[in-house]
Amino acid sequence: MNKAYQVEGVAVDLKTLATSIVPLLRSGVTIKSTGLKGKYNFVKGIVKYRFTCSRQLWYSAKGEPDRVAIIDDFGEITYGEMLEQAEALARYFETHGMGEGKRIGVMARNSRIIPLLLSAKGFVGADIYLLNVAASPHQLQESIVEHDLDAIFIDDEFGHHLPADWDKCQVYLGHLADPAAPHVSNPEWKSIHQLIEEAPSESEVKLKAFPKQGAIVIMSSGTSGTPKGVRHREPLFPMAMNDIIQRIGWREHMMIQQTASQFHSWGWANVNIAIAHRATVILRRVFNPVQAMEDLEKYQATAIISSPIFLKDQLKAANEGNYNVANLEFIVSSGNAMHVDLFKGLVDYFGPVVRNFYGSTEVSVATIADCQELLAQPETAGKPVGGVRLRILDEDGKTLGPNQPGRIFCRGIMTMRSYTNPRDKMRIERGLLAIGDKGYVDKGGRLFVLGRADDMLIVGGENVYPRSVEEVLYSMPGIKDLFAHGVKDEDTFQRVKVWLVREDSPEGEALTEEAVQKWVGDNLLAPAIPREVVFMDELPRNPTGKVMPRKLPGIDD
C-alpha cells in the first residue's frame, strides 16, 4: 500500500515523494548544510510549487534572504526582497483578474522583470507567455489576440508596439528608461513596480497554499507570420536536472553572468537553476562585450551562460583588454552551433572550462558536451542527459546505427506538450519528437549535428551541408561574421551561397569572393564551393543570435 504523508494538510503519496525529491536530495543541491529545517523546506517547496521559479525563489529566500539574487540595470536585489515583490505582485494578480487560468504575456529584455513574473505566475497558477523581443508590432498584436492574453508586460522601448487605445488586454510596463517620462503610446499604463506598491498586504489577501501550476509558453522568433507558441509544463521533478547540474558543474552561491536571453528556453531554464542554487545572476538588457568583460572582473564571476554569437564578441573584447577572470569555473553555450575556432579561442583565454548544451525550444535539453569531450572532438554535441531518449531515424522512421546520418529525434520530461495553435504540427516518430536537425551518433554514444534537416543540399551527387562551409570559413582571416545557405542553381539545381561581414582589418579589406571560394575549395570537396558571396555590413540576427534568412538579400535567387 502506498502510504500518504501530510504537507500542510495535503496528502502526498510516498511514490511522488520518492520519484520527485529523493534524487535531488541525494545530489546535495543547495541543501548540504541547511539541516533538518532546510530539508523540510526543500520538500515543502516542491510539494507546494513543484519545480518552478516560484519554488526556487521561495526556498532560497527562506534560507538566505540577504544574499543578492540579481544584479541588473535596476541595481541589486536580494532573495528576500525579490520574494516580497513577487508575492506582492501575485496578490495584485489575484485581486485584478490575473490569477488561476489567466494568461500573462511578457516582452522584456534581460533583467529581474521576467524572474519576478515567472515567480508571481507560480504563486497564483496563471499561464505565462514569453515573447521574443524581436517580434514586430504586428506580430505582438497578433500573438495577444491569437492567445487571448489577459495582460501583457512590455519594456518601454516596445511601448509603441501597441496603440494608446489598445483594448484587447491590460498593458503594463517593465523596464522604464525614464520613469518620469515613459516612451510609450499611453502614459497611463502602469509599471510593474507600481503594481507591487499598490498590491494588497498579506493580511488582506492570502495566496493559495497549493496553487495550480499553469503552463510556460515560449514564443518562437516568428521569422515569418505569427510566432509559434510552444507549451511547456512545470514538472514535479525534471529528471534531467541532476545530470545537467553535475555535468556542467553547478554549485551553491556562484556568481553567474547570463547573456543568454531569458525569454528563450535556454535562458528560462538557467534562471531556474541559478535561483535554485542561490546564485547571484548578472543580467544586462543590452549585450556589450566590453561591459561583459568588465562585469566578469568586477564581480569575479564564476560562470558564463551565453550563446556563440555573444561569446565570439566577448572573446574579442577579452583579447583586446587585460582582465582578471581567474575565478571562472565554466562557460556553457547553447542556441547556435559553436564553431571549432571559437571553442579553441575560449579555451586558450579562459582555460578548459567550456561546455556545449544542445537542444531546442520544443525539445528543451537533449545533450551536453563537457570540455574534455570537446577537447577530444570539438565538433560533438555530447551525450544525451539523463531521462532523454535520442535516436537517429531515416525518412521511414527506421533507427539508424552508429555513424549513419539521419534526422535527430528525442524526448525527455522537459519536452514540449504541444503547440498552442493546431496549425503548427509536431513531427513524431516512435514516440520521439523531431528536433529539426540532421546528425549521427558515433559508437561512443556522442551526437554530431550536421545542420538543419532541410538544409542538406545535393550538389553534383554529393551531400553538402552549409554548416560545413561555415566551419571552414570561420577560421579564415578577415571574416567577422558569416552565414551559409542553400539556393537554386541552373546547372546543379542547388548550391551554397554565403553572406559575409568583413572584419575591420587589412585581412578583412582584402577579402574577395574569389578568395573565399578558393579557401572553401582548398578545404572541402568542390561541390561545397559557394556559388556566390554577398558582402554585408551586418547580418540580420534575432536577439538569441540566430540569423533570419528571410531578411538576407537574394535568399530566393
Q: Average the pLDDT over 518-537 and give the result.
A: 91
Task: Output 497 or 541, whichever has higher pLDDT.
Answer: 497
Cell 493580511, residue? 203
- Report the amino acid identity of residue 142: E
DSSP 8-state assignment for residue 187: T
Q: In this structure, what C-alpha cell is assigned to residue 173?
A: 510596463
Q: Is 512 a residue whose pLDDT tops 90? A: yes
Give the pLDDT score at 11: 41
CA distances from 109 to 145, 161, 284, 286, 368 (A): 22, 15, 8, 8, 26
Residue 13 banded pLDDT, cuts 50, 70, 90? very low
* Of the candidates 145, 90, 120, 132, the residue with the CA atom closest to the CA atom of residue 217: 132
CA 446 to CA 390: how far, in whole Å? 11
Strands 380-384 and 447-452 turn out to be antiparallel
Residue with cell 543578492: 68
Q: Report the pLDDT value the prediction gives residue 418, as an integer from 0 to 100.
A: 84
- Res 40: pLDDT: 61
Contact 296, 533 (CB under 8 A): no
Q: Which residue in this structure is represented by grid cell 511601448?
A: 159
Average pLDDT rounded to a whole number, residues 381-395: 92
Give CATH 3.40.50.12780 domain extents, the chain.
241-452
Dist. CA 476–CA 519, nearest whole Å: 8
When pLDDT is cut at 50, 70 and 90, the band that residue 32 belongs to is: very low
Q: Find the radius of gyration of the CA atoms of the chain.
A: 24
The pLDDT value recorded for residue 473 is: 93
For residues 341-356, give the mean pLDDT. Answer: 94
The highest-level CATH class for domain 241-452 is alpha beta
Q: How far apart are CA 467 and CA 256, in angstroms?
A: 31
Mean pLDDT of 124-149: 91
* Angle formed at CA 122 by CA 117 and CA 128, multiple of 5 degrees: 55
Query: pLDDT digit string (tens) for 167-216?
Result: 999 999 999 988 888 889 999 999 999 999 999 999 999 998 888 888 89
* Confidence tier at 7 by pLDDT (50, 70, 90): very low
Helix axes 113-124, 265-276, angle to 10 degrees: 80
Q: Is the dihedral of CA 68, 71, 76, 77 positive or negative?
A: negative
Cell readout for 313 is 564578441
pTM of structure? 0.83
What is the SS3 assignment for 145?
Answer: helix
Pairing of strands 354-360, 170-173: unpaired
**248: which DSSP letter?**
H
pLDDT value at residue 222: 47
Mean pLDDT score, 443-459: 85
Cα distance between residue 167 and residue 149, in whole Å: 11
What are the pLDDT digits (tens) for 76-93?
999 999 999 999 999 999
pLDDT tens-place string over residues 208-267: 888 888 889 998 754 445 678 888 876 655 566 778 888 999 999 999 999 999 988 888
* pLDDT above 60 (res 14): no
| Integer Cα distance of 263 and 129 in angstroms | 9
**pLDDT of 54 strictly over 80:** yes
CATH architecture of the region 18-232: 3-Layer(aba) Sandwich (3.40)
The SS3 call for residue 184 is: coil
- pLDDT above 90 for 12: no
CATH 3.30.300.30, the chain: domain bounds? 457-551
Whose CA is closest to 528, among 539, 519, 516, 520?
520
pLDDT band at 306 (very low <50, low <70, confident <90, very high): very high
Q: Looking at domain 457-551, which of 3.90.700.10, 2.70.98.70, 3.30.450.20, 3.30.300.30 is its CATH number?
A: 3.30.300.30
State whether the Cα torsion 543-548-550-553 is positive or negative. Answer: positive
Percentage with pLDDT > 70 across the chain: 89
pLDDT exceeds cutoff 70 at 39: no
Dmax of the chain from CA atoms?
77
Q: How confident is the model at residue 545 (pLDDT cuts 50, 70, 90)?
A: confident
131 neighbors 106 (Cβ within 8 angstroms): yes
Residue 533: pLDDT band (50, 70, 90) is very high
Q: Are strands 255-258 and 303-306 parallel, antiparallel or unpaired?
A: parallel
What is the average pLDDT score of the chain?
A: 87
The helix or strand, by DSSP H or E, that contains position 434, with its residue range, turns out to be: strand 432-441
Q: What's the DSSP call for residue 547? A: B
- Strands 68-72 and 75-78 turn out to be antiparallel
Among 264-273, 322-331, 468-477, which is the least confidently predicted range?
Answer: 264-273
pLDDT in tens, 407-423: 999 998 778 888 888 88
| Pairing status of strand 103-107 against strand 151-154 | parallel
The span from the CA of 297 to the CA of 285, in Å, is 19
Residue 169, C-alpha cell as written in the block: 488586454
Instruction: Please answer whether residues 297 and 325 qualify as being in contact, where contact means their C-beta atoms are separated by less than 8 angstroms.
Output: yes
Start-end of CATH 3.40.50.980 domains in the chain: 18-232
- Cell numbers standing for residue 92: 495584485
**Whole-angstrom Cα distance, residue 411 to residue 275?**
26
> Is 19 a residue whose pLDDT tops 70?
no
- Identity at 543, one-letter amino acid code: P
Q: Which three cell numbers stand for residue 80?
A: 528576500
Helix (H) or strand (E) holding 290, with range, is helix 289-298
Q: What is the Cα–Cα distance from 325 to 322, expressed in whole angstroms?
A: 9
The region, left, alpha or beta by phi > 0 then psi within -120 to 50, assigned to residue 334 is beta
Which H or E run contains 393? strand 389-393
How confident is the model over 104-110, as a mean pLDDT? 96
Give mean pLDDT, residues 118-147. Answer: 91
Q: Give CA–CA dist 313/287, Å, rounded.
A: 10
